[in-house]
Amino acid sequence: MLRFSQFPLAILALNLVCGATFAQDNDKKPIPATATPTNQPRDPLLLPQHDEARKNAEQAYRRSDYKKVIELMSSVLAQNPKDHVAMYLRGSSRVDLGSATGDAAMVRAGIADSRESITVKQKDNLNYYLPYLKGMTSLSLVENKPAHAQVAINFATQLLAQPTLKGEERSNTLYQRALAYSAIQDQAKAIGDLQEAIRITPNHLGARVDLGGALSAAGQNAAAVTAYDDAVKAFPNLPLVYNNRGFFQQSIGKLDEAILDFTKALELDPQFIEAISNRGYVQMNRGDYESAENDFTQSLQFNAAQPSVLSLRAGSKLSRGDLAAAIADYNEVLKWDSKNSYGHAELGFALFFSGKTQEALAEFNKATEIDPKLRFLLPWQYLAMLALNQKPQADAKFAADLAIPQAKREWPDQLLTYLGDKQSEQDLRKAINNDPKVADPQTCEAEFFIGQRKFVAGQKDAAKVHFAAAIKAKSTQLSAYRGAKLEIK
């Protein structure tokens, strides 16, 4: 079923290529490569005329300006193909950029760079293997192929078997193997590697940051609380750890605590857009729509290329009844990606609640054309056609779905068959799942669609009773909940 905030912001975990070891007062990203130590002869493979470019690339990497790193290091490599630091920096940036954007080709290019850097400088720097490990894990997630993560696990295990791998290099490798374990949903082994990395290097930022998330994913919330608290103690001046703890706090329903953490992150870094957006998300869930929209707008001012934040702001505007503004934002979302099926669905909801039923139906239809798996839209499509006096056409369009036997119906089918007069209100309520986590949203939707069916039939007073019942649910992000709330108004 679709919720208006279909795209909750993910935890901003700093999955750094080099693992990350920080001093407590350092809030900057570590660089993925180091220069030749002063007590050693200059590396003949690194030409002096490129020192400034490598330095600038390192600074750009700290700022997460991966495109700049790629540009600078590509220029260096065009003049000196054996500059292993340039390969490593470009490979790290390509992996990070490809992972962030879901660009498999970019990740593969980063993996190729990392392999080349290993070939050139294999004996002197085991950290050069880390972009390869992260690249394979990222490729696993981007392409949804667990086999890639398993390659990273196997390779990291071989590295960890080497007695020369010690200290930070060992912690970094354990960290990358933990990420690969998480990618294949083996949280127990991921937790073990993260804990071992912390034991070896107590200030290992990557392990500190990700341990709480791994414990939470494994259902160990009490241990996760301790891990997040420990990360804050280890890095009290780093906004990232407050942001991540805040995300965890909101996930377990501690909204006030989450707000405090996001606000602390912003005190440390006023332009930390993930914390701004995350705080807005929590404000919206608390019903403080004005504050939520202020946060979303501020986040968009720092970076306009955030369609998910635009969608959240649209949902907040819709919840407080500003349907015209919500529709405008949803249209902006689709300008970023016209093939966004959920974007079309959300726009359809806003149009439906605005009384623009024909336009809403067109958006619902477009969403299901893009992604036929969006079966939660079936009852909405039927309802829109019913409101447009197109019941015969709706019955014909959904004939196969209406004929599904009771025992094989999924929840959208139950709603659809009710709207199509193939089962009664009582039968629909009997179909609600007994699991409390499922029963609440299904009850909300059942009451909403019963109310809508009666509203279309002209029974407006009876419809309001069901809309009132729908908003007694706790599933405040449901389209049905928001629709019922608007109907009551």
Q: Which residue has the higher pLDDT, 34 or 466?
A: 466
> So what's the pLDDT on residue 129?
87
What does the pLDDT look like over 301-346, one tens digit per residue? 999 989 999 999 999 999 999 999 999 999 999 999 999 999 999 9
Which residues contact residue 195 at a Cβ distance below 8 angstroms, ignoring those fewer than 6 apart? 207, 211
Residue 35's pLDDT band (cuts 50, 70, 90): very low
Distance, CA of 135 to chain centre: 19
Res 70 pLDDT > 50: yes
Residue 286, pLDDT > 60, answer yes
Which class for 114: exposed (0-12), middle (13-18), buried (19 or more C-beta within 10 A)? buried
Please check the confidence at residue 5 and state whether its pLDDT lies above 50.
Answer: no
Residue 393 has pLDDT above 80, yes or no: yes
Task: State the average pLDDT for the chain.
Answer: 89
The pLDDT value given to residue 124: 59
pTM: 0.81
pLDDT of 31 higher than 90: no
Note the pLDDT of residue 12. 29
| Rounded-to-integer distance, Cα 464 and Cα 237, Å | 52
Distances (CA, A) of 252 to 28, 257, 258: 29, 10, 10
- 431-452 pLDDT tens trace: 999 998 899 999 999 999 999 9
For 403-431, the DSSP string reads TS-GGG--HHHHHHHHHTTSS-HHHHHHT
Q: What is the tens place of the pLDDT at every residue in 102-141?
A: 899 999 999 999 999 888 876 656 778 888 999 999 999 9
At the top level of CATH, the class of 48-237 is mainly alpha
